[in-house]
Amino acid sequence: MQESGKPMIADASEPVPSTKDGGALEAEMRAEAMTKMKVNVGGSHVGDASETVFEVRDFSAYYGSFRAVKDISMDIPKNRITAFIGPSGCGKSTLLRCFNRMNDLVPIAHNTGTIHYHGVDLYDPKVDAVEVRRRIGMVFQKPNPFPKSIYENIAFGARIAGYKQDIDELVESSLRRAAIWDEVKDKLKQPGTALSGGQQQRICIARAIAVKPDVILMDEPCSALDPVATLKIEELMFELRDEYTIVIVTHNMQQAARASDETVFLTMGDDRAGYLVEQGPTSEIFTNPRNQLTEDYVSGRFG
């Protein structure tokens, strides 16, 4: 595996400015912490399916005093597609956004418990949230290409991240991996917003790929798409899982059943806080679930 150019842990290779005595000791301690928490990620290899990318332990997410999800503990396997399913309002999207700290941008959001990514506590104060979001990309429910050309949609993030190699090659390779190069190669200067919904979503996936993430989070990426465009996105997900770990939120039971390897079922209690009911291989969740609540949900009895 190759390391990304920037560590998630704040750089402690230089002395840490300090107004207190013992600043050198503080720098030494931070350097030691960074060494212990070093992360090697790449997104350019096929890994062991038994390897874990995320370890979630006793995790609860809040908006002010309201607890959106409570006491979540689970592991997310590497190079697999994991689907979050459950009724509306059970906190699936909230939990997903916590994996790359997007919820940090909500002023009243806070959490308890831990999410470890390759052994690193994502919410450790030393962790750079911007670098977390580069390594753990996000594709949203509604396609949101930038108001720029197709080419600039792909190149923009890489430039901001300090990419120094051939941008033309990066744009082409990202579009090819998102299975849309042949459709847009002759109109790269046209605005990304002029494309169809399904094409825009694949542009957004290409944009996420271009910054070389390790994980791609997808929040209902097909909910606004027609069946043909949905199928293309699902086929693309299967192609990408050899290189990336994918976590998807979906309300579509058929999609979860056919397009994921692992399924996580959440529901909510009387307090409206989402909680985990069952996790397992998708084939088992949909054909032989262990929990009656899971069976009732996947069979359409509630939700």
pLDDT tens for residues 204-244? 999 999 999 999 999 999 988 889 889 999 999 999 999 99
Q: Which residues contact 220 (CB under 8 A, 6 or more apart)?
A: 93, 141, 248, 249, 250, 251
Confidence class of residue 302 from pLDDT cuts 50, 70 and 90?
confident
Confidence class of residue 9 from pLDDT cuts 50, 70 and 90?
low
Retrieve residue 195's tokens.
């494309």
Is the pLDDT reported for residue 13 higher than 60?
no
Is the pLDDT reported for residue 39 higher than 80?
no
The pLDDT assigned to 97 comes to 97
Task: Return the minimum-mean-pLDDT range out of 35-39, 268-272, 290-294.
Answer: 35-39
- The backbone torsions φ and ψ at residue 259, rounded to the nearest 5 degrees and listed phi first, read -120, 15
pLDDT digits (tens, 9 = 90+) for 254-288: 999 999 999 999 999 999 999 999 999 999 999 99
Confidence class of residue 2 from pLDDT cuts 50, 70 and 90?
very low
> What is the pTM (predicted TM-score) of this model?
0.83
Domain borders along the chain are 55-298
Retrieve residue 54's tokens.
């995320």
Retrieve residue 6's tokens.
């920037």
* CA angle (4 as vertex; 27, 26 as ends), nearest 5: 5
Q: Which CATH class is domain 55-298?
A: alpha beta
| Cα–Cα distance measured from residue 46 to residue 27, given in angstroms and rounded to the nearest whole number | 36
